[in-house]
Amino acid sequence: MTSGIDVQGPDGEAAHVPPRLLALTGDQSTGGPPDLDDAASFARDLHHGLSEVLLGAPGAVTAAVVAVLSGSHLLIEDVPGVGKTVLARALAIALGTDLSRVQGHPDLLPSDITGVTVFSPDTGAWEFRPGPVFAHVVLLDEMNRTPPRTQSALLEAMEEQQVSVDGESWPLPRPHLVIGTQNPVGQLGTYPLAESQLDRFGLSTSIGYPSAEIETRLVLHNGGRYALDALKPVGDPARWQQTIDATAAVHVATPVAEYAVALVRATRSSGSVRLGASPRAAISLLRSAQAYAVLSGRTYATPQDVQAVAVACLAHRLIADGGPADGPTVVQDAVATTPVPLT
């Protein structure tokens, strides 16, 4: 175990990178050619493992796998007790890493998430103490209970994979998956997430209530805890990063890209939205379609892959006239009215 390294900040000041941070920020990519077969088997194993733990919620499991493969972040919006935390814990276990958890509350400060710079009498230097965001898998539970100032501390982390504290920037571990959960918007004591924050989540999903049959299985089998205890890692962060690289290399024909863009543009011209999906959303839509292709065992993306992820990718980013619940309808309308190429 090393004792970390000393670095110089932008103004020449000394700072110390602790070993935990150093270990996490190492380059995880292989540099070799992406192996799509390996990516597909990683995706399948991950999907299988998560489905064994989170029962009766195939949409949420697929959204989680797509987020992992596309290297993006996942928002889970649902009522208490439906398995949000269990899904996050299962993801961390399956990805061979720890879950770093932050509980949202009104007094949470930005530094409670990002970390602080403190003076170390031992080294005589200012030392950065990384906050809980410095982990491969971060669960931000009940994000919308934190005030906007703290929510915005996450913006840079989620988009730029780094954190700036006291004028210095610190790289986050790669891959980096933020799982944000929020209670249905409008509940007492919640601060709605800003559009810019929502746009940084690659996908949004909900879990929903299980069927009576599954709920009976849960109550008979200790709430499904055994399945979580039995879950084995399907890989580690290095293999996860290789999978992200391989997913990015999935072939996208120009008409498929044009189709994704047409869908995004259709949300902008919809008569029932005040804000349509952004170019960031278009990029994310295509990356998610590539991930869906990998999960389906293909080396190229199709318009159907784009359709399969469209609602999870786009609905949460729209401001629909009828409120957030109308987002999925706007996206479904866009899918229904946009001509499909290559058919």
Tokens of 115: 């970390």
CA angle 204, 210, 213 (to 5 degrees): 155
**Per CB under 6 A, does 57 bind ligand ATP?**
yes
**Per CB under 5 A, does 41 bind Mg ion?**
no
For the bound state, the minimum distance from the C-beta of residue 241 to ligand ATP, rounded and expressed in Å, comes to 27
Q: Tell me, what DSSP letter sits at residue 261?
A: H
Among 9, 13, 45, 85, binds ligand ATP (CB under 6 A): 85
**Per CB under 6 A, does 224 bind ligand ATP?**
yes
**Per CB under 6 A, does 71 bind ligand ATP?**
no
Among 40, 54, 172, 286, binds ligand ATP (CB under 6 A): 54
**Per CB under 6 A, does 210 bind ligand ATP?**
yes
Q: Report the C-alpha gap between 10 and 184 in whole angstroms.
A: 42
Q: How many CA atoms lie within 13 A of 152 on its CB side?
A: 6
The rounded Cα 169 to chain-centroid distance in angstroms is: 22
Q: Report the C-alpha gap between 53 and 35 in whole angstroms.
A: 28
Q: Report the C-alpha gap between 233 and 214 in whole angstroms.
A: 24
Helix 36-53 to helix 84-94 angle, to the nearest 10 degrees? 140
Signed CA dihedral, 286, 287, 290, 291: sign only: negative
**Per CB under 6 A, does 180 bind ligand ATP?**
no
Among 49, 71, 83, 303, binds ligand ATP (CB under 6 A): 83
Token look-up 């998610």 returns 288
For the bound state, the minimum distance from the C-beta of residue 282 to Mg ion, rounded and expressed in Å, comes to 32
Q: Taking CB under 6 A as the criterion, which residues in 118-147 touch ligand ATP? A: 141
Identity of the residue, 84 or 145, whose beta carbon is nearer to Mg ion in the bound complex = 84
**Per CB under 6 A, does 81 bind ligand ATP?**
yes
**Per CB under 5 A, does 299 bind Mg ion?**
no
Identity of the residue, 71 or 83, whose beta carbon is nearer to ligand ATP in the bound complex = 83
Q: Report the C-alpha gap between 61 and 223 in whole angstroms.
A: 18
Identity of the residue, 224 or 237, whose beta carbon is nearer to ligand ATP in the bound complex = 224
Among 32, 33, 80, 121, binds ligand ATP (CB under 6 A): 80
Answer whether 253's CB lies under 8 Å from 300's CB: yes
The rounded Cα 204 to chain-centroid distance in angstroms is: 9
Q: Taking CB under 5 A as the criterion, which residues in 66-95 touch Mg ion? A: 84-85
**Per CB under 6 A, does 56 bind ligand ATP?**
yes
Q: Of 127-135, 163-171, 219-227, 279-287, which part binds ligand ATP (CB under 6 A)?
A: 219-227
DSSP per position, 110-175: HHHHHEEEEEETTTTEEEEEE-TTSSSEEEEETGGGS-HHHHHHHHHHHHHSEEEETTEEEEPPSS
Q: Of 38-46, 50-58, 186-194, 258-266, which part binds ligand ATP (CB under 6 A)?
A: 50-58
Identity of the residue, 86 or 256, whose beta carbon is nearer to ligand ATP in the bound complex = 86
Identity of the residue, 85 or 123, whose beta carbon is nearer to ligand ATP in the bound complex = 85
Strand partners, 264: none
Query: What residues line the site for ligand ATP (CB under 6 A)?
Result: 54-57, 80-86, 141, 210, 218, 223-225
